[in-house]
């Protein structure tokens, strides 16, 4: 799968393509259904398959720090999309110029002139264009004029018993409620955050609990607190741990951070990329009166995490952890 960035780059070398458009934040089962339609149709027609995304995401452009928390940064999204057999990800910079482009101009400039689209697949709630007038009906009309067909994908719901629409918003709600098993059902995989280990303040090491500080590259997060986590290292090895995600009120962070204390682990991993999967919430973030109170709580968090893994993932716990007497 190749990445194409912006209209300034050459258009597709192929004469036609099948495409879809959206944020694809989280790449949940609803997104996957759309992608599968795109890939299947492209294979049938013998043309490339394309997903069109935006950076920043439109609400981030319009709302800034007040925009909904990202489920994935761009790197994670690209990696997730690469597993579905797509040929291209076409990333458009969402700026003032693009935000003011009418729906008709977007179709003419992006879909017809640049991508030479022959078939478009969209979600049934999709809207686009500077005036938000772009929808399925308008696309059908423009498609007849410009020579491409349009197909919509019906909304997926969580289950027959729960008519909740599968969406990125729903995933954020589940994560905020620490319903990780339910989020896994909607995503089709366990929720994780991926990032590179960077140098931090070294406070955890000074306290006797060294942590891996993972760059989040986002101004807000979908959930905060202290969690029992599974961590996949860059070499593929799995480690259990305790993670704090949030602003660490005791030490006065302003931007959210992710720090993970890895159980029974002592190797140096600065610069490596980790994947952190959230299993169980241990507690909310809280401010402590002094460092000694913080150390006491961290010890309890580690003990609670060990207890959780021993009771719920016993084989993995026995393989990866040293039993504490």
For residue 314, the domain's CATH number is 2.40.30.30
Query: What domain count does the chain have?
Result: 2
Higher pLDDT pick, 49 / 317: 49
Q: Are residues 233 and 91 in the same domain?
A: no
- Looking at 3-17, 27-41, 290-304, which range is the least confident one? 3-17
Identify whether 185 is part of a domain: no
**Of the residues 103, 132, 153, the one at which a domain ends:** 153
pLDDT given for residue 20 in this prediction? 97
pLDDT given for residue 248 in this prediction? 67
In this prediction, residues 71-80 reach a mean pLDDT of 95
- Looking at 86-100, 249-263, 299-313, which range is the least confident one? 249-263
Bridge partners (DSSP) listed for residue 317: none
Q: Is 103 left (phi over 0), alpha (psi -120 to 50) or beta?
A: alpha
The string of pLDDT tens digits covering residues 155-201 is 777 765 677 889 999 999 999 999 999 999 999 999 999 999 998 76
Of 236, 231, 238, 258, the closest CA to residue 247 belongs to 258
pLDDT at 247 over 90: no
Contact call for residues 42 and 20 (beta carbons, < 8 A) = no
Of 12, 89, 100, the closest CA to residue 52 belongs to 89
Contact call for residues 224 and 286 (beta carbons, < 8 A) = no
Identify whether 180 is part of a domain: no
The string of pLDDT tens digits covering residues 227-245 is 999 999 999 999 999 999 9
The range of the structural domain enclosing residue 42 comes to: 2-153
pLDDT given for residue 219 in this prediction? 80
Q: Are residues 49 and 115 in the same domain?
A: yes
Vertex 173: Cα angle to 72 and 31 (nearest 5): 50
In this prediction, residues 38-67 reach a mean pLDDT of 95
Number of helices (H), then strands (E), belonging to the chain: the values are: 11, 12
pLDDT given for residue 91 in this prediction? 96
Identify whether 162 is part of a domain: no
pLDDT given for residue 203 in this prediction? 64
In this prediction, residues 86-107 reach a mean pLDDT of 94
**Of the residues 104, 135, 153, the one at which a domain ends:** 153
Tokens of 25: 């934040």
Task: Scan for tokens 């264009």, then name that residue.
Answer: 129
Contact call for residues 285 and 259 (beta carbons, < 8 A) = no
Contact call for residues 251 and 201 (beta carbons, < 8 A) = yes
pLDDT at 147 over 80: yes
Identify whether 261 is part of a domain: yes
Identify whether 99 is part of a domain: yes
Contact call for residues 47 and 17 (beta carbons, < 8 A) = yes
Q: Are residues 18 and 107 in the same domain?
A: yes
pLDDT at 35 over 50: yes
pLDDT band, very low/low/confident/very high, at 42 (cuts 50, 70, 90): very high
Identify whether 173 is part of a domain: no
Which CATH number goes with the domain that contains 46? 3.40.50.620
Identify whether 174 is part of a domain: no
Q: Are residues 225 and 278 in the same domain?
A: yes
Identify whether 303 is part of a domain: yes
**Of the residues 107, 127, 153, the one at which a domain ends:** 153
Q: Are residues 146 and 234 in the same domain?
A: no
Q: Are residues 249 and 201 in the same domain?
A: yes
Cis? peptide before 217, omega within 30° of 0: no
Mean pLDDT (the chain, rounded): 90
pLDDT given for residue 325 in this prediction? 46
Gap between the Cα atoms of 67 and 302, Å rounded: 33
pLDDT given for residue 204 in this prediction? 60
Helical segments of 267-313, H only: 291-312
pLDDT given for residue 157 in this prediction? 78
pLDDT band, very low/low/confident/very high, at 251 (cuts 50, 70, 90): low
- Looking at 31-45, 176-190, 208-222, which range is the least confident one? 208-222
pLDDT at 12 over 90: no
Whole-model pTM over 0.85: yes
Quote the percentage of the chain above a pLDDT of 90.
70
């Amino acid at each position: 799968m190749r990445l194409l960035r912006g209209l300034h780059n050459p258009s597709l070398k192929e004469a036609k393509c099948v495409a879809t458009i959206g944020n694809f934040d989280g790449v949940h089962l609803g997104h996957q259904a759309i992608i599968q339609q795109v890939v299947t149709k492209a294979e049938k027609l013998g043309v490339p398959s394309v997903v069109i995304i935006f950076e920043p995401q439109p609400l981030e452009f319009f709302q800034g720090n007040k925009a909904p928390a990202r489920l994935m940064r761009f790197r994670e999204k690209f990696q997730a999309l690469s597993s579905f057999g797509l040929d291209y990800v076409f990333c458009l910079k969402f700026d003032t110029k693009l935000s003011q482009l009418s729906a008709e101009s977007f179709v003419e400039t992006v879909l017809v002139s640049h991508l030479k689209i022959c078939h478009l697949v969209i979600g049934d709630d999709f809207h686009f264009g500077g005036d938000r007038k772009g929808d399925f009906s308008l696309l059908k009309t423009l498609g007849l004029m410009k020579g491409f067909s349009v197909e919509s994908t019906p909304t997926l719901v969580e289950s027959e018993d729960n008519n909740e629409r599968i969406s990125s918003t729903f995933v954020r709600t589940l994560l905020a409620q620490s319903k990780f098993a339910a989020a896994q059902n909607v995503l089709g995989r366990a929720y994780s955050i991926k990032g590179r280990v960077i140098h931090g303040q070294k406070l955890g090491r000074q306290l006797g609990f060294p942590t891996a500080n993972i760059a989040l590259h986002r101004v807000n997060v979908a959930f905060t607190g202290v969690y029992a986590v599974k961590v996949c290292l860059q070499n593929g090895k799995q480690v259990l741990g305790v993670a704090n995600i949030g602003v660490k009120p005791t030490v006065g962070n302003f931007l959210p951070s992710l720090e993970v204390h890895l159980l029974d682990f002592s190797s140096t991993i600065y610069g490596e990329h980790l994947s952190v999967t959230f299993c169980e919430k241990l507690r909310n973030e809280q401010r402590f009166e002094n460092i000694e109170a913080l150390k006491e709580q961290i010890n309890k968090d580690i003990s609670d995490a060990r207890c959780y893994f021993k009771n719920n993932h016993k084989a993995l716990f026995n393989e990866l952890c040293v039993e504490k007497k």
